[in-house]
Amino acid sequence: MTLTAETPRPTVTAAAGRARRPRLLPRVAPYLQAAPLTVALLLFLLVPILTIVAVSFWDYDSVRIYPDFVLTNYTELLTSPVTWKTYLNTLKYAALTWAITLGIGFTVAYFLAFHIRSTTWQMVLFLLCTIPFWTSNIIRMISWIPFLGRNGLLNSGLISAGIIDQPLEFLLFSDFSVVLAFVHLYALFMVVPIFNSMMRIDRALIEAARDGGASAAQTLWNVILPLTKPGIAIGSIFVVTLVMGDFITVRLMSGGQSASIGLMIANEISLLQYPAAAANAVVLLAVVLIMVVAMLRVVDIRKEL
């Protein structure tokens, strides 16, 4: 700015002089514009997380927590075989749910994007996918219970059709029912971003591939799949983080027989063991962040959007 002032041409000096009063504003404006979001993030994201981190070092007994700096919450957490088993179990749910929702999501999106010619029908069918989301996810989950139960619709149907003699016990309150509910709940989170990515693919590329002699499978593998990666990555982030943090689905669908990290934290909170829950939450946050970073390493969402 001072350089401008030193330039010999009087007109510029005059302009600079006139600009002096509002000069502060343009410099501050971006900060002001970013301020609401910054304040919101500070208040509702950073402060709570820092509090959780701080509390995770506190001590506690059965009714109260004491400000302190102890590592027992972390040592108890990380040395307990239950923690490892629970993490493994949660990761298993996450992996299974991810793989299945990816398969379903990709297929549905592919069908919508490349097999439905008219935009109207695409939208109609897309909205059809979202219909289950019009009800609460707890309802969607619970409605599986009478369906899959020992005397439920499915078992009675199969028995009366003569396909089985004994009701299938594994259908409810098992890993099967947990993953089934997860897939049902979260498949749309995979469909939407993949569909979005596919719609952005230039159809000329596919024509070019076909003209170049590529088979349908080759086009899918070498053209569509690489171009859909950002959508897959976004969908994966949704599904994985949702499953990692879940507690109610696991509790209801496993009949309280399986553990997940979210459930572990919920149990600790309900027993007033806030510091232990906080330590658990910090570890979970770290694990999920690592998983997200790893996914972003594989796919550069920004570059491909």
- Does 64 engage in binding with other proteins (CB under 8 A)? yes
From 76-84, 195-203, 209-217, 280-288, span contacting other proteins (CB under 8 A): 76-84
Phi, psi of 60 (to 5 degrees): -150, 160
In the set 11, 118, 120, 151, which binds other proteins (CB under 8 A)? 151
Per CB under 8 A, 139 contacts other proteins:
no
Instruction: State which residue, 90 or 97, has the beta carbon closest to other proteins.
Output: 90
Query: Which residues, other chains included, contact 114 with Cβ-Cβ below 8 Å and sequence gap of 6+?
Result: 198, 206, 224
Phi, psi for 57 (deg, rounded to 5): -100, 0
Minimum Å distance from CB 80 to other proteins?
A: 7
Q: Secondary structure of 17-83 in the HEC alphabet? A: HHHHHHHHHHHHHHHHHHHHHHHHHHHHHHHHHHHHHHHCCCEECCCCEECCCCCHHHHHHHHCHHH
Q: Which of 73, 197, 219, 258 binds other proteins (CB under 8 A)?
A: 258
As a whole number of Å, the end-to-end CA separation of the chain is 37
CB of 68 to other proteins, least distance (A): 16
Length of the chain: 305
> Quick one: 124 or 271, whose CB is closer to other proteins?
271
Q: Does 178 bind other proteins (CB under 8 A)?
A: no
Q: Is 265 in the site for other proteins (CB under 8 A)?
A: no
Distances (CA, A) of 176 to 181, 182, 183, 192, 226: 9, 10, 11, 25, 31
CA 63, 68, 69, 70 dihedral sign is negative
| Side-chain-facing half-sphere of 184: CA atoms under 13 Å | 19
Q: Is 126 in the site for other proteins (CB under 8 A)?
A: no
Which 86-125 positions form the footprint of other proteins (CB under 8 A)? Answer: 86, 89
173 contributes a contact to other proteins by CB under 8 A: yes
Residue for token pair 């701080």: 54
| Shortest distance in whole angstroms from residue 270 CB to other proteins | 4
In 3D space, the residue among 181, 184, 149 whose CA is nearest the CA of residue 168 turns out to be: 149
> Binding of other proteins at residue 79 (CB under 8 A)?
no
Tokens of residue 173, six digits: 């309150």
Q: Please say which residue, 184 or 251, places its beta carbon nearer to other proteins.
A: 251
* Contact region with other proteins (CB under 8 A), list: 17-25, 195-203, 211-219, 259-267: 259-267
CA 72 from chain center: how many Å? Answer: 31
Q: Examine residue 85 and tell whether it contacts other proteins (CB under 8 A).
A: yes
User: For other proteins, what does the binding mask look like between residues 228 and 257, x meaning CB under 8 A?
Assistant: -----------------------x--xxxx
160 touches other proteins by CB under 8 A:
no
If binding is defined by CB under 8 A, does position 166 make contact with other proteins? no
Binding of other proteins at residue 157 (CB under 8 A)?
no
**Beta-carbon neighbour count of residue 48 at 10 Å?**
10
Nearer to other proteins, 6 or 61 (CB): 61
Task: List interacting residues with other proteins (CB under 8 A).
Answer: 61-64, 76, 80-82, 85-86, 89, 145-146, 149-152, 169, 172-173, 251, 254-259, 264, 267, 270-273
